[in-house]
Amino acid sequence: MAPSAITAATTPPHGIKTAALTASAVYHQIEAQSGLRPLDASKLIFTPTTTPMSVPAKGDAEAYISSQCSDHMITAVWKRETGWESPELKPYGNLSLAPTASVLHYATECFEGMKVYRGYDKKLRLFRPEANCARMLISATRIALPAFEPSELEKLILALLEVDGVKWLPKTGDFLYLRPTMIGSAPGLGVATPREATLFVIMTFMPSLNKEGGLRLLASQNGVRAWPGGFGFAKVGANYGPSLMATGEARARGYDQVLWLLNGQVTEAGASNFFIVWKTKAGNMQLVTAPLGNKIILDGITRRSIIQLAKERLSDELELVERDFTMDDIVEAVNEGRIVEAFAAGTAYFVAPISAINYNDQDLDMPMYEGDSGKYTAILKTWLMNIMYGKENHPWGVVVKEKQ
């Protein structure tokens, strides 16, 4: 990529709906870097591992607990004076950081979570990777980490898959989890925008989080995840650490995830977006989810895909509505028998049926008319799986070239 290429990309990334504030912040972050070296995947330096690891057996609990990674990782360092250094594809290993590094004190960290799937046709696919890479730029900008051209990050992810895909993900129907991450890595305790950043991409195992009997959610009564003017829309580590206490409490009480409320409004569930299907008082069938406009929730790629599929393929029977709604709206619909089903949607939990929501110490039952799922939950999940695993040819399924 020519040094001018990043200035050519100064229009805010498309495909992501964000309020103007973020779009202009992204724009300025990119502008600030014109003249510096851009992130350039064509400069990738490949150092193959000399000590290949053995692939753990499927279902190996330890590999899941410790997030065992594949043989290689991507790293790239950015410096304020010069820009991005040549990215590297190198043996997986520990990072070296000063104890004074910005990330360790001020949570200058953002990340992405995406899966790579081994299809029915033996091909390897990512699901809408360009959307993850564009969102990573928005998250990085929110915490003053440097800009990059999202398509260059996508190329780096593909480069990692090209070397590790065949060995680490051989079997049809399986997936691995990719974690692109950026941290403020310069030493210095001054509370200031990072002078140096490190981007890395690792690939690891993640269990299938499907839970028999559906997810049970505990509505948050005395804690919030995000607030207006905050950073709930960004995938930054600072959103997660402080949520773990509530999640632990929910688990101790027999629930799987917290359903985060803000002034009674339903926002999202754990690290998934929340959807509910209900009949309106007038009898219309609606698929409802919280809107992005107030920047409280994460703009999930699964969420976006479900919205688009529902609009394209279910509009005859189901009206898709992005709106604010409250637990009281849900309670009323439960009492009037208008709830059809509810589900959570995100890369980690995928499309997960919800069987109950606890609110004010009462379990509200969410129907699962197909036994283990609601009808629309099952339909949408199957459509997405067909795209991810190549049963349906669709532009969202991006095939990865592999070295054979």
Nearer to ligand PLP, 33 or 302 (CB): 302
Query: What does the binding site for ligand PLP look like in residue numbers (CB under 6 A)?
Result: 113, 235, 268, 271-273, 298, 300-303, 346-347
Minimum distance between the CB of residue 72 and ligand PLP, rounded to whole angstroms? 23
Q: How far is CA 143 from the centre of its chain?
A: 17
Residue 190 to residue 183: CA distance in whole angstroms: 16
Minimum distance between the CB of residue 267 and ligand PLP, rounded to whole angstroms? 9
Q: Which residues pair with 274 in a beta bridge?
A: 344
Nearer to ligand PLP, 114 or 159 (CB): 114
Nearer to ligand PLP, 115 or 338 (CB): 115
Phi, psi torsion values for 393, nearest 5 degrees: -75, 120
Nearer to ligand PLP, 146 or 346 (CB): 346
Give the pair of three-digit tokens for residue 288.
């409802």
Minimum distance between the CB of residue 235 and ligand PLP, rounded to whole angstroms? 5
Nearer to ligand PLP, 97 or 206 (CB): 206
Reduce the DSSP state of residue 404 to 3 states and report it: coil
Nearer to ligand PLP, 177 or 325 (CB): 177
Residue 298 to residue 287: CA distance in whole angstroms: 18
Q: Which residues have C-beta within 8 Å of that of residue 252, sequence separation ≥ 6? A: none
Minimum distance between the CB of residue 83 and ligand PLP, rounded to whole angstroms? 28
Residue 4 to residue 354: CA distance in whole angstroms: 49
Give the pair of three-digit tokens for residue 212.
């028999």
Nearer to ligand PLP, 38 or 129 (CB): 129
Side chain identity at 12, as an amino acid letter? P
Kindly report the CA angle at 181 between 176 and 184, in degrees rounded to 5? 165
Other CB atoms within 10 A of residue 320 CB:
18
Nearer to ligand PLP, 216 or 235 (CB): 235
Query: Measuring CA to CA, which residue among 241, 240, 347 is closest to residue 301?
Result: 347
Minimum distance between the CB of residue 265 and ligand PLP, rounded to whole angstroms? 15
- 328 in the Ramachandran plot: left (φ > 0), alpha (ψ -120 to 50) or beta? alpha
Minimum distance between the CB of residue 335 and ligand PLP, rounded to whole angstroms? 28
The secondary structure of residue 368, as a DSSP letter, is: -
Nearer to ligand PLP, 186 or 306 (CB): 306
Query: Measuring CA to CA, which residue among 314, 340, 339, 315 is closest to residue 327?
Result: 339
- The runs of H, that is alpha helices, within 267-396 are 301-313, 327-335, 375-388
Minimum distance between the CB of residue 236 and ligand PLP, rounded to whole angstroms? 9
Nearer to ligand PLP, 84 or 233 (CB): 233
Give the pair of three-digit tokens for residue 252.
């101790």
Minimum distance between the CB of residue 241 and ligand PLP, rounded to whole angstroms? 13
Residue 60 to residue 261: CA distance in whole angstroms: 36
Minimum distance between the CB of residue 308 and ligand PLP, rounded to whole angstroms? 13
C-alpha R_g of the chain:
21
Minimum distance between the CB of residue 377 and ligand PLP, rounded to whole angstroms? 15
- Span between the terminal Cα atoms of the chain, in Å: 27
